Structure 1
Amino acid sequence: MEACCCNLEVDVNGEETFMVDKAVITQYSNKFARLFGKCGGATGKLKVIFHDFPGGAEGFELMLKFCYNNGIADISPSNLFLARCAAEYMEMKEPVADISNLLELTEKSLHEINYWTWSDVLIVLKQCQNLLVLDCSEMVEKCLDTIVGRLVLASEASPCPSTSSTDSSWIRFSCDSKSTESVKTSFTRLTWWFEDLLFFSPLLVAMLVKSMLTRKMDHVLISKFLLYYQKAKFSTSTTEEKSKIIEMVIDMHYDMDLSCVPCKTLFGILRVTLGLNISKCSRNRLETMIGSQLDQATLDNLLVPSPYGISYLYDVNLVLRFLKAFLRRGNGPVTPIRMKKVASLIDLYTAEIAPDPCLKISKFLALATALPDSARDSYDEIYQAMDMYLEVHAQLSKEERVKICCVLNYEKLSPQACLHLSQNKKFPSKSAVQALISQQSKLKNLLHVTPSTSSYNDSPCSSNGSAQKVKKDKTSEQVVLYAGNFDLSTDNEKLKAHLQGMQWRVMELEKFCRKMQVQMAKITKSKASGNSYAKSLPKLCS
């Protein structure tokens, strides 16, 4: 090559100034060839200023070495990404002359990625991340695919990721020693790579996880990595950085199979977000995921403090949004069993927050009416919550108390709850009457299950072996109510005594039914063995 003359001054990002030969650089760079072609026959020294050269002075110097060495460069994982970015920036894809192409050299080196060590791949990714070109680099995708491919093989075939690597992160989990292998736990063998990837930015982690999901990696393991990453990074992150990290963790979980993500994990993420200002989209996604698994939650999970500026103690609006998500989507079909579990949980939650003096009646009613009537077999828990709420909110008007009581299904109240309600002065008188009517109706239904139409019922199931006679007193089955003129305060003791009498009769009938069930079980067993006990069959069952 002819003697060089330094006729071009290049300022690279304000870091360093290089004096170079314009002719040497131009024959390799289409960018410079086009730039100086516009200058015509300009003489004297020229100056070019770069403000965004990838890799800064280090990247430009690497490109210069290639140009001044007749198109020869020593490309390795440690400088591969710098060389590639410089080549793309200087437009070295189609050289002016028939000479070597820096971009082609980087491509050739990248094709050998399968022979790189684990550390080599991480070095390239670290350079990619430092140059902030993660979202558009083919090289990043290839490196991530290589990492995921090795992790898939490691999890499926062997606890050892590779036998070709000699760096420390692989030595720690070497397969050469059987004694070492015997000490390792299954968890350690699966999570050896967690620590190595902590330098990843949230954006790079998101790209990695998407690749893992595409390759069908275990979602439980991916979730564990995300939580490990979040916990490790939080110790040194600013509040803004924490928000970005937790948003990424939420968004990645949202793309997973929720059956692999425990409800406890999601509530743990929720607790972390309480002091952070995360995006509305990520928050909605988290609440949707929790709502879809609400039947797996516990009361402690739901007791989330109210956000700043809200007067009541717990975040009732959050729980209502969980309920909405559960009813809208659910983690699979909302079966009756799942619905009943959620109803039981919400009843416990309603009773827990009822004593809050700042809890508005609208919020209390929203919780009590959020689920359909079919979700509850018993309204006793709701009644207890109402009792506590009315106790604390004594200032409520009669209309408001009636509105609360309208939630109750008196047919699904136990006799004990009805008896308590009949004496509860915090409830409107009409509620006590409805409870008594309901119990009277249920007692009639119980009495009508006996098939005998006579006034007596013969039972072979008495304790002394003789038949017991249960007389049906029609007058005791009825409570006469006179068209709205019912005075609960005057007749309360009579009603109480009457209800207690009905309760006693219900208990006797329940005992009788249990004895019949025992007899039926014996008969079924005897039939299976070939014996016949037709003569001992109770009349009620014949």
Structure 2
Amino acid sequence: MEPYCNLEVDVNGEETFFVDKTIIAQYSGKFDKLFGKSSGARGKLKVIFNDFPGGAEGFELMLRFCYNNGTTDITPSNLLLTRCAAEFMEMKESVAGVSNLFEQTEKTLQEINFWTWSGLLIALKQCQNVSSVTDSSVVLEKCLDTLVGRLVLASEASPCPSSCSTDSSGIRFSCDSKSSESIKTNSSRTTWWFEDLLFLSPLLVEMLVKSMLSRKLDHVVISKFLLYYQKAKFSTATTDEKCKIIEMVLDMHYNLDHGSISCKNLFGILRVTLSLNISKCSRNKLENMIGSHLDQATLDNLLVPSPYGIRYLYDVNLVLRILKAFLHGGTGLVTPIRMRKVAGLIDLYIAEIAPDPCLKTSKFLALATALPDSARDSYDELYHAVDMYLEVHSQLSQEDRVKMCCGLNYEKLSPQAYLHLSQNTKFPPKSAVQALISRPAKLNNLLRPTPSTTPYNNSPCSSGKEDKTSEQDVLYDENFDVSADNEKLRTHLQGMQCRVMELEKICKKMQSQMEKITKSKVSGQSNARSLPKLCS
């Protein structure tokens, strides 16, 4: 037996094989070059391989070919390992009229259209296990292309590839028992294959989806598969694996049609990512996709808790970014109807976050002013949100209170909101007067003018010594008949008169002081008196 076991081969430290070097060198170009003319010499030799593709299993497949006179049974389950071993051992030359091992694997690969569904899956598993081997990419690409082709035909014709006996090229399909069982348990003809492909790694799923896109598979089906894959794999995945999975799902969805995934599912993905440290690029893609669906969102969708370290109750910065993505969705995509829907949603959101004592004025204003004026037909909801914010943040300075009113369009306030504003002491007086002057007709619509009403100068807050200003003429140029039923309305009106006159008095005092200072400077007086402190 000694002459027949004259070569010891250590394969990747996994296993040691004792073989006849003459037989191996007959089929292997690598061994033939290695031993040369000494192939017939006596004595044992030892060869160590540290990077043999497929390890001991691949080397054994190659040995079977050599010891069986150049023939072997090549199946989808061993095709890749056999092909990689043949490539590594340089078995591309025919010997004694017998085709070489590499040619035989190539012939089997060309018959891939006749493989069963389970055969395709087994071949894909092999490709996934030896993905580091360069030659595996050829087999992988062929398997993916064939698999996607069957899915496309199945979606167009029937739920099972086997029921499509031939295609336009005369290629027959076959379907094993496992696939039949899978189809029987799933009534949908477009999702029967989801469970079968859960073994794929995120990298192979990405390659699969790209192939699906090139073959025009329905984007809605692709989206459903990605979500199914993500949910199924998350149950056993580590944190790092979850990040890779969710990033792949987001990247692939970003290449699909906008309508292929619902707004609800996008927010579902968003909540999953809150506890994961995914890449900034993937997070931006998610926020952009949500922005394109913002008009379909609900208030509950937007109420996302703030990240750790942020004092706000809800993640206002996230909503601002999503709103920005919506506004930059492209010309023609943001229609007036969609804009109004989003404005209504944002007003609800602002009202929800207004009571947050930690919410900064700048963030509130950024939300209130993010949308154009044309997005709102009425500013009542926003006014009430500002009112609530001012009530909770009573420590705001007068300057900040004035800023809070910058997002309001007084001309789009309802008459009821005007009346509420007239007696709202939380708003700065300047804002109240500006609102009342801007559209006095709003108030007039609530009142019925009649010649028998009490004139403005008989108001309890008026003074016979004070002259009427132009603002008074604009606000009170009509006489109003306030009946007993409108007593509350009379109180509101009188309150407005008082506030207007108070502001006028302050303005007159300031003008008087300014005139004195001007005269003092002109006359060269050196002892100028300082201005008195006036209440604002």
State whether TM-score is above 0.5.
Answer: yes
User: Cα RMSD between the aligned structures?
Assistant: 3.5
Deviations 1:104-163 (CA, angstroms, capped at 9, x unpaired): 111101111111111111111111112224886111111112111111111111233214
Change (3 A) 1:484 1:440: closer
Question: Shift in Å at residue 315 of structure 1?
Answer: 0.8
1:414 is matched by which residue type in structure 2?
A: S
The answer on whether the counterparts of 2:154 and 2:160 sit within 8 Å (CA) in structure 1 is: yes
Report the Cα distance in structure 2 between the residues aligned to 1:215 and 1:160, rounded to whole angstroms.
Answer: 18
What pairs up with 1:136-147 in 2 under 5 angstroms? 137-147=137-147
Question: Shift in Å at residue 403 of structure 1?
Answer: 0.9
Deviations 1:223-264 (CA, angstroms, capped at 9, x unpaired): 111111111111111111111111111111111001121111
Deviations 1:381-439 (CA, angstroms, capped at 9, x unpaired): 11111111111111111111111112211111111111111111111001111121123
2:178 is matched by which residue type in structure 1?
A: S
Question: 1:49 is paired with a residue of what secondary structure?
Answer: strand
Q: Report which stretch shifted further, 22-31 or 272-281.
A: 22-31
Change (3 A) 1:309 1:38: farther
What pairs up with 1:133-532 in 2 under 5 angstroms? 133=132, 137-163=137-163, 164-173=174-183, 185=187, 188-329=188-329, 333-441=333-441, 482=469, 496-497=492-493
Question: 1:245 is paired with a residue of what secondary structure?
Answer: helix
Question: TM-score, normalization: structure 2?
Answer: 0.78
Q: Which runs of 5+ in 2 are unaligned?
A: 164-173, 457-461, 476-487, 498-536
Report the Cα distance in structure 1 between the residues aligned to 2:406 and 2:181, rounded to whole angstroms.
Answer: 69
Question: 1:318 is paired with a residue of what secondary structure?
Answer: helix
Question: TM-score, normalization: structure 1?
Answer: 0.78
1:242 is matched by which residue type in structure 2?
A: K
Change (3 A) 1:309 1:43: farther
Alignment partner, residue 517 of structure 1: none
Question: Shift in Å at residue 96 of structure 1?
Answer: 8.2
Question: Shift in Å at residue 495 of structure 1?
Answer: 8.0
Report the Cα distance in structure 1 between the residues aligned to 2:491 and 2:406, rounded to whole angstroms.
Answer: 22
2:269 is matched by which residue type in structure 1?
A: I
Question: 1:27 is paired with a residue of what secondary structure?
Answer: helix
The answer on whether the counterparts of 1:27 and 1:95 sit within 8 Å (CA) in structure 2 is: no
Report the Cα distance in structure 2 between the residues aligned to 1:368 and 1:27, rounded to whole angstroms.
Answer: 81
Change (3 A) 1:134 1:39: closer
Alignment partner, residue 25 of structure 1: 24
Report the Cα distance in structure 2 between the residues aligned to 1:332 and 1:205, rounded to whole angstroms.
Answer: 34
The answer on whether the counterparts of 2:398 and 2:428 sit within 8 Å (CA) in structure 1 is: yes
Question: Shift in Å at residue 470 of structure 1?
Answer: 8.2
Question: Shift in Å at residue 46 of structure 1?
Answer: 3.4
Question: Shift in Å at residue 93 of structure 1?
Answer: 3.1
For the pair 1:11 / 2:7, whether they are aligned, the reply is no
Deviations 1:32-58 (CA, angstroms, capped at 9, x unpaired): 344456999998543332223222111
Report the Cα distance in structure 1 between the residues aligned to 2:489 and 2:432, rounded to whole angstroms.
Answer: 13
Change (3 A) 1:336 1:75: same
Q: Report which stretch shifted further, 279-288 or 7-16.
A: 7-16
Deviations 1:180-236 (CA, angstroms, capped at 9, x unpaired): 9xxx74xx2221111111111111111111111111111111111111111111111
- Count of residue correspondences: 463
Question: 1:137 is paired with a residue of what secondary structure?
Answer: helix
The answer on whether the counterparts of 1:63 and 1:83 sit within 8 Å (CA) in structure 2 is: yes
Alignment partner, residue 115 of structure 2: 116
Change (3 A) 1:86 1:134: closer
Question: Shift in Å at residue 85 of structure 1?
Answer: 1.7
Question: 1:173 is paired with a residue of what secondary structure?
Answer: helix
Report the Cα distance in structure 2 between the residues aligned to 1:43 and 1:394, rounded to whole angstroms.
Answer: 100
1:32 is matched by which residue type in structure 2?
A: F
> Among the aligned pairs, what percent are the same residue?
72
1:418 is matched by which residue type in structure 2?
A: Y
Q: Report which stretch shifted further, 287-296 or 326-335.
A: 326-335
1:370 is matched by which residue type in structure 2?
A: A
Question: 2:190 is paired with a residue of what secondary structure?
Answer: helix
Question: 1:91 is paired with a residue of what secondary structure?
Answer: coil
1:497 is matched by which residue type in structure 2?
A: L
Alignment partner, residue 64 of structure 2: 65
Change (3 A) 1:40 1:4: closer
2:149 is matched by which residue type in structure 1?
A: G
Question: Shift in Å at residue 273 of structure 1?
Answer: 1.0
What pairs up with 1:52-91 in 2 under 5 angstroms? 52-91=51-90
